[in-house]
Amino acid sequence: MNLEVKENNIRLDVYIKNNTDYSRSKIQSLIKDGYITVNKKREKESYKVKENDLITISEFEEEITDVIPEKMDLDIVYEDDYLLILNKKSGVVVHPAVGNYNHTLVNGLLYHFNSLSNKNTIRPGIVHRLDKDTSGLMVVAKDDKTHELLSNMIKNKKVERKYLALVWGVIKHDNGTIDAPIGRDINNRQKFIVTDVNSKESVTHFSVIERLNNATLISCKLETGRTHQIRVHLNYIGHPVVNDPVYGNRKMFNEEFGQMLHSKSIRFIHPITKKELFFEIDAPKEFYNILDNFK
């Protein structure tokens, strides 16, 4: 994460606390351990930031000592000795975060499986994430080797993931590609936007499945996997995902269900057995109940 400083003469730890969700004690610990730099240099927590300073918070893993296994119904689509593929329900958070250590998918995975990759981290087994209110297929690794191989495959675009999305408005083109870099919104740390500032390459392909009354059902294929990527990209082209509470800014249907986005299929070569795996699963009934409003 990068923060471009917009103020002067504020303590480093205070500035970060005011612009992130981290506690001050956590920030001080990260500074001490070298996870936070200013203009690529380590500074003390008392350092007074200056306008245009670039603060970088490197990725880190939190200990999972406070996360306990919880009994949870998991919809396992496929499982072998190395990995599993599951169908995540809409409304389920994938892994614990600060202030939210319970009722996540990771809690459920810890209850059901003794062997998961990255066992001593905050997200054991999690190779890639889905947003809380996005349903559908996810891959979970059972050991570190499989996890590393799968992560590299995703990075090198060797895992094909397709999503089903219902968006506002009628898309005229049958197919399209959105190639626009995504970064965190400096005015709202909970959101991401298309921007050239501290952003990463982001590419989403889409094709129209059905045109409805003021809405379009589409298939999306991810080439990259940025946080909120599909939601940000579709909002960027003026067709936000229906029921999206963050980017939609439109009428909500069944607010408990969340955005109309479903991870429908996944295809890749098994990193260990070398066999092709392909799984496809339909969206939940709530998805189609909302879709009926546009027919």
Q: Which residues are catalytic?
A: 131
DSSP string, 166-179: EEES---SSEEEEE
Half-sphere exposure of 87 (CA within 13 A, CB side): 13
Q: Would you say 85 and 279 are in contact if contact means Cβ atoms under 8 Å apart?
A: yes
Other beta carbons within 10 angstroms of residue 287's beta carbon come to 23
HEC secondary structure over 111-130: HHCCCCCCCCCCCCCECCCC
- Nearest Cα to Cα of residue 222 among 166, 154, 275: 154
The Cα–Cα gap between 75 and 112 comes to 12
Burial of 159 (0-12, 13-18, 19+ CB in 10 A): buried
E-strand ranges in 130-281 read 135-141, 160-168, 175-179, 182-184, 192-194, 203-211, 215-222, 261-269, 276-280
Q: Which residue blocks in the chain are alpha helix, DSSP H?
A: 12-19, 24-32, 105-112, 144-155, 229-236, 285-291
Q: Residue 5 has which token pair? A: 């400083």
Half-sphere exposure of 15 (CA within 13 A, CB side): 28
Other beta carbons within 10 angstroms of residue 25's beta carbon come to 10
